Structure 1
Amino acid sequence: MKNNNIQTVVFGGGCFWCVESCFNMLNGVEKAVSGYAGGLTENPTYEEVCSGNTGHAEVVEITYDSNVISYEQLMEVFYFLHDPTQLNRQGNDIGTQYRSSIFYQDAEEMEKAEAAMKASEATGKWNGKYVTQISKLDVFYPAETYHQGYYEVNPNQPYCSAVVGPKIQKFKKHFGDLGWLKAE
């Protein structure tokens, strides 16, 4: 029997290692998969996307149960995890592949994404105008296998320990206090 409450959404918020790890910790998220979207190159590789020539962003496709976690809650997490005022970068990760992006599947989802962005911007959490791109999803390409669950396998890798780990700890504290995280 098909569960009509199972939905997918695709977000880009900088390096996908952190975004994927955090979303996979949420109650109601069945899986988060690192990948690429928004460009013209078919079946791009990580190296091609990192060149900045494919037009793709590093993204995460999130499969979730809307009876457990709402689209609006996912958007709250999305805007918590990255700075949506930075154009084509997140911290020291620079390039269009790190752009803040939401990929919608239909008009209803586009309206929800626009409303969530306006609501988040109105909070004043981030200083400046949001530059998040809201675009129609053409195709999602899963990243190479070694990128899936990257942080969990490589927590001591220098980038992970310096950038990803601290961000995940901040995420766990905030959303753990709200009761949104899966039991460990």
Structure 2
Amino acid sequence: MAGNVETALLGGGCFWCTEAVYLEVRGVTSVESGYAGGEIAQPTYEQVCTGATGHAEVVKLSFDPTVISYRDLLEIFFTIHDPTTLNRQGNDVGTQYRSVIYHQSPQQEATARQVIAEMAHVWDAPIVTELSPAPLFYKAEDYHQDYFRQHPMQGYCAFVVAPKVDKFKKTYAERLR
């Protein structure tokens, strides 16, 4: 199966939300929360939260393209966050919460451009999702990994993450593990 695994690097606001959804997707073999697109090596959560490092909170997905396509992953991505708000998702504000697709190949870039163009007809405001070549990815601290499953009753998880996961499950029931 190792030959059938591809990688996607996506930022759609808080990585706890994005990670929680993609952990439920059939064909996604692993999800890591982390940071990408910034200017310092090995940033910490505290540094990224200041907005001064230039990093976005992202998830690194490994997926089997024979089970789920990159296109399908992007369609989910555009359903679970608002790609029309610059550097913001709900009450999370700052460049670290920007909407971003870091493509791994020319094929991923072409697919992302096509999906963005299609999604422009779905949203009432212009899509501001950044599309850039994949930079270095820095895995977030261990306590951020699988955060929602470990802390479902924590306030942010209960009121922000859980509704996004529920929306995904209702919208994409056929994609659940």
| Band of TM-score, shorter chain | over 0.9
Give the corresponding residue for 2:142: 145
Offset, 1:121: 1.4
TM-score w.r.t. length of structure 2: 0.97
Gaps spanning 5+ residues in structure 2: where? none
**Aligned-partner SS, 1:32:** strand
- State the Cα deviation string for residues 90-131 of structure 1 (Å, max 9, x = none): 000000000000001222221111111111112x2x220000
Residue correspondence of structure 1 range 88-103 to structure 2 within 5 A: 88-103=87-102
Counterpart of 2:28 in structure 1 is 29
| 2:43 corresponds to 1:44 | yes
Tell me how far apart the structure 2 counterparts of residues 127 and 15 of structure 1 sit (CA, whole Å).
23
Does residue 180 of structure 1 match 2:175?
Answer: yes
- The equivalent residue for 2:106 is 107
Give the letter aligned to residue 14 of structure 1: G
1:16 equivalenced with 2:11 (yes/no): no
Q: Which runs of 5+ in 1 are unaligned?
A: none
The 1-side partners of 2:105 and 2:67 are apart by: 21
Name the counterpart of 1:4: 3
Let me know the Cα RMSD of the aligned residues: 0.9
| Structure 1 SS opposite 2:125 | coil
Question: In structure 1, how many angstroms separate the alpha carbons of the residues matched to 2:87 and 2:176?
Answer: 29
Distance in structure 2 (CA, Å) of the matches to 1:132 and 1:4: 30
Percent identity reads 48
SS at 1:4's partner residue?
A: helix
